[in-house]
Amino acid sequence: MTPTFTHLLKSPTLMLALGFGSGLVKKGPGTAGSVVGLLVYCAMAQLPPGVYVGLVAVGFVGGIWVCGRAAARLQIKDPGCIVWDEIIGMLIACCFVPLEPIWLLLAFGLFRLFDIVKPWPIGWLDKHVDGGLGIMLDDIAAGLITALLMAALRVAGWL
């Protein structure tokens, strides 16, 4: 099935999995979903760290179910239109990044690079883990690697 905005309005699962409609973008749905993740980060950045991490953890665990169910409903193993994984991956990538354009753009660019190129272990996870967990894990790994690089840049004082 090719999802439409009408399908999203009828299904909360598809609405979440397709990033509130951003996954319907014809060219670059993953990038569109990452933009949504960046906007969500900007809204959540001032939360206490424990609350932020807790919400991201809930988004990850819930995302396993939501993405798996949406993929089954669409009858596609890992549809590109599912972008909840990019949203959560971006939230991890930006974890505690200052709300400054240079930091946000760098985190966004690195996350997209890792998500598209899929170096090890991201590519391995993408190829070897199936279902909702598989949909989520490669973007979680891209987010974690980006977050580590951003932390290293910040500690090094390069930005």
What digits encode the pLDDT tens for the residues 71-115?
999 988 778 999 999 999 999 999 979 999 999 999 999 999 999
Domain housing 151? 28-156
Structural domain includes residue 14:
no
Count of domains for the chain: 1
When mean pLDDT is compared across 1-5, 32-36, 46-50, 154-158, the lowest value belongs to 1-5
Buried b (16+ CB within 10 A) or exposed e, 62-75: ebbbbbbbbbebbe
User: Does 3 fall in a domain?
Assistant: no
Give counts: helices (H), strands (E), the chain. Answer: 8, 0
Read off the pLDDT of residues 106-158 as tens digits, 9 standing for 90 and up.
Answer: 999 999 999 999 999 999 999 999 999 999 999 999 999 999 999 999 899 88
In a domain, 38, yes or no: yes
